[in-house]
Amino acid sequence: MTKYHVRFELDEEGWWVASVARDEVYGCHTQARTLGQARRRIRWALDAAEAKDAHTAELIEEVVLPREMQKQVDVVNKMRSEEESLRSKLSTETRRVIESLAKANIRLRDAAPLLGMSHQRVHQLTAGKGGGKKGRAA
């Protein structure tokens, strides 16, 4: 598959400027108000430059932001990744606790407030485990 390295930078007026690496397609660039538009338009620019596989090529993107702004974006992305990991762990642990409560003959409706969630959410977490129909967890 053909690959092109594309650099996206904001200009002084807030436009995104997209440029394909010079050694891949010389002079291939475009600009747009949004990053999404710039991503679409760079493919059009590749097509206009008669670049190989312009519409299907893999674009290896580099988005360049001012240093402080990039640090802020990196912090948020790291937190989002940690959040996703924690949500996964929370879901697994919640299912385990629901199963434990079920073994103690605690009904889903009673398990829900103990876990600070709705009984519907408890049912969702136990769906496919055979516990939902009888009203017992797990």
Architecture of domain 3-64: 2-Layer Sandwich (3.30)
> Which tokens sit at 3?
């690959």
Q: What pLDDT sits at residue 6?
A: 98
Q: What pLDDT sits at residue 130?
A: 43
User: Which residue has tokens 């312009």?
Assistant: 54
Question: What are the contacts of 98-107 at 24+ separation with CB within 8 A?
Answer: 98/122, 98/125, 98/126, 98/137, 98/138, 99/137, 99/138, 101/137, 102/131, 102/136, 102/137, 102/138, 103/138, 105/136, 106/137, 107/135, 107/136, 107/137
User: Which residue has tokens 């937190």?
Assistant: 79
For 121, other C-beta atoms within 10 Å of its C-beta total 14
Instruction: Provide the residue type at 134 as one letter.
Output: K
Mean pLDDT, the chain cut into blocks of 10 residues (138 residues total): 95 96 94 97 94 92 95 97 95 93 92 93 76 45
Whether the Cβ atoms of residue 3 and residue 56 lie closer than 8 Å to each other: no
Beta-strand pair 29-32/58-64: unpaired
Domain boundaries, the chain: 3-64, 69-126
Q: What pLDDT sits at residue 137?
A: 46
Beta bridge partners of 3: 58
Single pTM value for the model:
0.65
Query: How many whole angstroms separate alpha carbon 60 and alpha carbon 50?
Result: 19
